[in-house]
């Protein structure tokens, strides 16, 4: 694969089931000989489970070790504070000859990703209430100097909306391969309309997860009505709390945003508008990603939501 062909989510190392099994056994001898299976592959990590009880996260690239270190430091401070389960690491920053980077293991949180679950009205309401309360606690956590030094240096909330839009603009211009010229022009004009651009977050930056996409929310596997946990904390930062709401709108729509805000105590003027403005940008990212990875149904859903949100 040439550099031109490489995608941002591509790994810079090889990892097979046999290699992961060997690395886990070397780093945690008590698990040698136990059953290992691939749990899933994301943008930044490959996850393997052992005996269906333990999850080991292997960075896909050298730079993702920093995310792993951040997750370990942040969750060490937050686990007893948050109202929903988060990973509790038993084996932090393991090393093994069979794998080039540090990796870590935690007790598996039983559940299924929110993504494939159909967002019925009742389910959206239940998820919205739980996440709205969760964000209310997370965003109110005081950040002292010791915690702050572990956080990702996020964007300045005062300029984040426009800076984010400019990063996404090049993707929007490339969308005619899967969206009409009319849609591209309409979204571009809407993004640039001074009457549409919401006011920037005016309060102090707050502690945010900054990557709460629906694949990072685990649901009770029986009925998909209650949240089992929130995972993948490697992007935790100080920033605009509306950034935590936007990715979830791509699953549950405006109704989910409304349900979250019904119980969220920290909303400031323009909060909902900022979340929706950011959601349209995420829709463009998703349309492009799903197109390049040939996930046609997901691409169509993201495009439909984008057309719904932009009048």
Summarised one tens digit per residue, pLDDT across range 257-279 is 999 999 999 998 899 999 999 99
What structural domains does the chain harbor?
Answer: 17-107 (3.30.200.20), 112-309 (3.90.1200.10)
CB 142 within 8 A of CB 204: no
3-state secondary structure of 92: strand
Q: What are phi and psi of 221, to 5 degrees?
A: -70, -15
CB 201 within 8 A of CB 245: no
CB 236 within 8 A of CB 206: no
pLDDT (average), residues 238-261: 96
Strands (E), 62-184: 89-96, 99-107, 112-113
| 128-137, 163-172, 176-185, 190-199: least confidently modelled range | 176-185
Give the pLDDT confidence score for residue 23 in this predicted structure.
98
Q: What is the pTM of this model?
A: 0.92
Of 192, 217, 196, 272, nearest to 240 by C-alpha is: 272
Give the pLDDT confidence score for residue 171 in this predicted structure.
85
CA dihedral 9, 13, 16, 22 (to 10 degrees): -130
């Amino acid at each position: 694969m040439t550099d031109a062909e490489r995608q941002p989510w591509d790994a810079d190392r090889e990892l097979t089931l046999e290699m992961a099994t060997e690395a886990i056994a070397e780093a945690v001898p008590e698990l040698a000989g136990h059953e290992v299976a691939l749990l899933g592959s994301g943008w930044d990590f490959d996850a393997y489970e052992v005996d269906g009880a333990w999850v080991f996260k292997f960075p896909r690239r050298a730079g993702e070790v920093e995310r792993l270190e951040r997750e370990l430091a942040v969750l060490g401070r937050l686990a007893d504070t948050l109202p929903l389960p988060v990973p509790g690491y038993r084996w932090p920053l393991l090393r093994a000859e069979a794998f080039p980077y540090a990796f870590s293991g935690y007790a598996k949180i039983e559940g299924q990703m929110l993504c494939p679950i159909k967002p019925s009205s009742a389910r959206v309401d239940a998820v919205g209430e739980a996440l709205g309360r969760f964000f209310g606690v997370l965003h109110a956590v005081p950040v002292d100097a010791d915690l702050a030094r572990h956080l990702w240096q996020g964007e300045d909330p005062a300029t984040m909306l426009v800076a984010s839009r400019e990063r996404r603009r090049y993707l929007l211009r490339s969308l005619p391969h899967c969206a009409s010229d009319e849609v591209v022009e309409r979204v571009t004009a809407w993004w640039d309309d001074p009457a549409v651009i919401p006011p920037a977050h005016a309060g102090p930056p707050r502690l945010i997860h900054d990557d709460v996409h629906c694949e990072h929310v685990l649901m009770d596997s029986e009925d998909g009505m209650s949240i089992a946990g929130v995972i993948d904390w490697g992007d935790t930062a100080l920033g605009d709390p509306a950034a935590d709401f936007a990715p979830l709108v791509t699953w549950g729509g405006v109704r989910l945003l409304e349900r979250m805000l019904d119980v969220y105590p920290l909303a400031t003027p323009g909060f909902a508008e900022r979340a929706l403005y950011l959601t349209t940008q995420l829709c463009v990212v998703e349309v492009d990603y799903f197109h390049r990875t040939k996930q046609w149904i997901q691409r169509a859903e993201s495009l439909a939501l984008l057309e719904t949100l932009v009048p």
